[in-house]
Amino acid sequence: MTTAVKKNVSVIGLGDMGAALVRSFLKQGHAVTVWNRSAARAVPLQQLGAVVASSVTEAIAAGEVVIFCVTDYPVSRTLLETAGATAALKGKLFVQLSSGTPQEAREFNTWASEEGITYIDGAIMAVPDQVGRPDTVFFMSGNKDAYTQSEATLKSVAGALQYMGEDPGAASTWDMGFLSVLFSAMGGFFHSIKLFESEGLTATALGNMMFQLAPALGEMLKQQGDIIGAGNYNANHSSLNLCAGSMDMFIQHAKDANISAEVPTFIKGIFKRAQDAGYGNEHVAAAYKTY
């Protein structure tokens, strides 16, 4: 049996996520070269075995797979304006793991293609301490050959790596779809912590319950997606009127407990618009129709 040789990896950007990628690549036996604007962030990684480059261009030149994980695409562009950086990328596999919009990803892909650089775009569906697990998901999209070239290397840090198709913006689209749900859920979660605390329970208890019920929550959201996808809102349960009514319960509780009613009031507004349009007896998913 032959063991595949692990590719040399360069990581540009050693924020919380970039540093987590580096630690994970080192653990998996990759040679890793790093660069960060603030040099101090490279020190702990050097102690773990990473080689610290003195410039972006030097870091790019050292890797077969070059990963950018900085704040956003404009920062990536600025770094690529460093003397020699773009030329050094030629012949390498360039992996963009900084977050951005689908359109930014497409524009970056076009730029790379015009420069003759092999490029694959990705989105990290994890927080730093979830990197490197067999169930860690990164969404990747763009040129299929570039994905194939990157697959074994990226699986070192994301065991459940997924290819989302040839559109370079696809990884970002899936990422934004997830994040929109996540950040909206956070708004509700913070309200629920206030609700719990006002009734003598803790934020930790709420988090534990949500972890336990996450599969049921996922199933409920999937059901909404199926209903909206099929365009059939005939309700045999969970009508819009029923769910809108429960928003009044939350607003009443907020008054009783002297906590903010901002979140339930906002959701009530979304439901009310659909009720006013005559969808009250349909499934709650009908609120989408006036969104």
Ligand X SMILES: NC(=O)c1ccc[n+]([C@@H]2O[C@H](COP(=O)([O-])OP(=O)(O)OC[C@H]3O[C@@H](n4cnc5c(N)ncnc54)[C@H](OP(=O)(O)O)[C@@H]3O)[C@@H](O)[C@H]2O)c1
Binding interface with ligand X (CB under 6 A): 13-18, 36-38, 41, 69-72, 75, 78-79, 98-99, 124, 127-128
Residue 106 or 268 with smaller CB distance to ligand X: 106
Q: Specify the amino acid at residue 237.
A: H
Report yes or no: 101 and 49 within 8 Å, Cβ to Cβ: no
User: Least CB distance from residue 274 to ligand X, whole Å?
Assistant: 33
Residue 159 or 270 with smaller CB distance to ligand X: 159
User: Least CB distance from residue 126 to ligand X, whole Å?
Assistant: 6
Please name the residue that has the structure tokens 């076009």.
Answer: 110
User: Least CB distance from residue 82 to ligand X, whole Å?
Assistant: 10
Residue 77 or 255 with smaller CB distance to ligand X: 77
Report the distance separating Cα 44 and Cα 241, nearest Å: 56
Closest-approach residue to ligand X (CB): 15
Residue 176 or 201 with smaller CB distance to ligand X: 176
Residue 114 or 129 with smaller CB distance to ligand X: 129
Residue 22 or 195 with smaller CB distance to ligand X: 22
User: Least CB distance from residue 41 to ligand X, whole Å?
Assistant: 5
Output b/e per residue, 56-67; b: 16+ Cβ within 10 A: bbbbbbbbbbbb
Q: Which two tokens stand for residue 198?
A: 């006002």
Torsion of CA 53, 55, 58, 59, to 10 degrees: 60
Report the distance separating Cα 36 and Cα 51, nearest Å: 12
Q: What backbone torsions phi and psi does residue 239 show, to the nearest 5 degrees?
A: -70, 160
Give the CA distances from residue 190 to residues 29, 181, 197, 204, in Å, rounded to whole numbers and listed in that order: 41, 14, 11, 12
User: Least CB distance from residue 84 to ligand X, whole Å?
Assistant: 16
User: Least CB distance from residue 211 to ligand X, whole Å?
Assistant: 18
Residue 22 or 286 with smaller CB distance to ligand X: 22
User: Least CB distance from residue 20 to ligand X, whole Å?
Assistant: 8
Coil, strand or helix at 124 = strand
Nearest to 169, CA basis, from 73, 62, 233, 88: 73
Surface-to-core class of residue 101, CB atoms within 10 Å of its CB (0-12 exposed, 13-18 middle, 19+ buried) = middle
